[in-house]
Amino acid sequence: MLAYGKSGLSVNVPEDTRIVEPTFLELPEDDHELVLNALRNPIGTKPLREMVKSKDKVVIVISDITRPTPNHKLIPWILEELPHVPLENVTIINGLGTHRDQTRPEFVEMLGETIVDSVRIINHHCHEKSELTHLGTSSYGCEVYLNKEYVEADFRIVTGFIEPHFFAGFSGGPKGIMPGIAGIETILTFHNARMIGDPMATWGILDKNPLQQMTREVNNFCKPDFLLNVALNGKKEITNVFAGELTAAHAVGCTYVKEHAMIKCEERYDVVITTNAGYPLDQNLYQAVKGMDAARMIVKQGGTIICAAECSEGMPEHGNFVKILQMRESPKELLEMINVPSFQMFDQWEAQRLAMIQEWADVYVYSLLPEESIKTAMLKQTKDIEQTLQELMDKYGKKMSIAVLPLGPLTIPYVEE
């Protein structure tokens, strides 16, 4: 069963297919108690309740709807630890980066109606200078802008979940702030062609990863006072919690996630079937590039990736992803355009990474996308994965090797070469 949309997708594969899944983890008996214990016994800081004064203006930064962070649990449990802080003193900032605003129904889905009705929630707008504060100049050559309400708060909390990340090594930690609530100029540098194309900017690498180094530097301009991150299993259930000082707590979380979510493979495969971990991560093709990149880690050069991602939201149409894809007629030409130092458009990073994958292997997509969208992205469409496997046997022979990543980027395979 592949993680696909909300319902999953059943696909029959040969018996000798390699299935790459995360290490099975026993769930905690009570994830509520697990989170409260982390807030009360954090890494590198005092307990959360002792750090926040009753008169403090508190901001809590959350990840947006394209991430499976269980905000509906974490936010009420954080507020439970702050009974002395009036709710009117609390603001939740939706860390959109360059993504679109969330609607009220989406906030209800993310946070629950009680929180939506009782706590002020704002969407971050990276293009709105009036909603940003300039904090200085980064050593990476850009001006540093962060959300104004975040900067002006008395106490800053950042939440999120940790998984291997295809640019920054791991998600969570400082990425909640940068790019989550950064200005567009800062985000464009973070995702420029040189950074994305760096060989160290890949899954599971923190040290010497330029994106991880930059996000840490930007966080230090206005550091969050407290971090709450979780690890999740394939069912989006909490398996562990990491709270406290930003860098120290995130490092502990990354070590845990790497041990359980990165799987060593002895060889590369002719065909790798992958997903983008189902809803909410596979809402659009832009996000599904992560699942394709996970498959790239173990597919042979010249091999084939088949990605099952529902893409109920389309490409999507907002942002520049589609516009950039339409600017050239091949992945090679697209990379040449993006790698010109003077080229700069937000969303270029996802188009760049997609083109890098396509230069390595053929990519088929099983989705709700119309044929026109598949053509725009220079991908191949499959309406029947099993039939496509049969057809690929003509190319690779009867001994065609296959691997499956049922949970896509929630499990990152790798080959030591």
Question: Where do we find the tokens 């750090």?
Answer: 51
The pLDDT of residue 68 is above 90 = no
Q: Is 45 exposed, middle or buried (0-12, 13-18, 19+ CB in 10 A)?
A: middle
What average pLDDT score do residues 343-370 get? Answer: 95
pLDDT band at 138 (very low <50, low <70, confident <90, very high): very high
Instruction: Express each pLDDT in 384-406 by its tens digit.
Output: 999 999 999 999 999 999 999 99
Tokens of 194: 């040189």
Selected residue with higher pLDDT from 333 and 319: 333
Supply the pLDDT for residue 23. 77
The reported pLDDT for the residue numbered 199 is: 93
pLDDT at 66: 84
Residue range 332-358: average pLDDT? 94
380 φ/ψ angles, rounded to the nearest 5 degrees: -110, 145
- Please count the CA atoms within 13 angstroms of the CA of 161 that sit on its side-chain side: 22
Q: Which residues are catalytic?
A: 99, 165
Give residue 382's pLDDT band: very low, low, confident or very high (50, 70, 90): very high
**Domains in the chain, please, with CATH?**
31-260 (3.40.50.11440), 265-414 (3.90.226.30)
CB distance 109 to 280 below 8 Å: no
Cβ count within 10 A of residue 87: 12
What gap in Å lies between CA 25 and CA 206, rounded to an integer? 24
pLDDT at 308 over 90: yes
**pLDDT band per the 50, 70, 90 thresholds, residue 416:** confident
Report if pTM > 0.75.
yes
pLDDT tens digits for 259-288?
Answer: 988 999 999 999 999 999 999 889 999 999
pLDDT at 234: 73
Mapped to the 3 state alphabet, what secondary structure does the chain carry?
A: CECCCCCCECCCCCCCCEECCCCCCCCCCCHHHHHHHHHHCCECCCCHHHHCCCCCCEEEEEECCCCCCCHHHHHHHHHHCCCCCCHHHEEEEEECCCCCCCCHHHHHHHHCHHHHHHCEEEECCCCCHHHEEEEEECCCCCEEEEEHHHHHCCEEEEEEECCEECCCEECCHHHHCCCCCECHHHHHHHCCHHHHHCCCCCCCCCCCCHHHHHHHHHHHHCCCCEEEEEEECCCCCEEEEEEECHHHHHHHHHHHHHHHHEEECCCCEEEEEEECCCCCCCCCHHHHHHHHHHHHCCEEEEEEEEEECCCCCCCCCCCCHHHHHCCCCCHHHHHHHHCCCCCCCCCHHHHHHHHHHHHHCEEEEECCCCHHHHHHCCCEECCCHHHHHHHHHHHHCCCCCEEEECCHHHCEEECCC
Tens-place pLDDT, residues 195-222 = 999 999 999 999 899 999 999 999 999 9
Provide the pLDDT for residue 140.
Answer: 95
Q: What are phi and psi of 279, to 5 degrees?
A: -65, 140
How high is the pLDDT of residue 319? 87
Bridge partners of residue 165, in order along the sequence:
169
pLDDT band, very low/low/confident/very high, at 3 (cuts 50, 70, 90): very high
- For residues 80-102, give the mean pLDDT: 96
Tokens describing residue 180: 């989550």
**How much is the pLDDT for 410?**
84
In the chain, pLDDT over 70 holds for what percent of residues? 100
Give dist(CA 274, CA 207) in Å, integer.
27
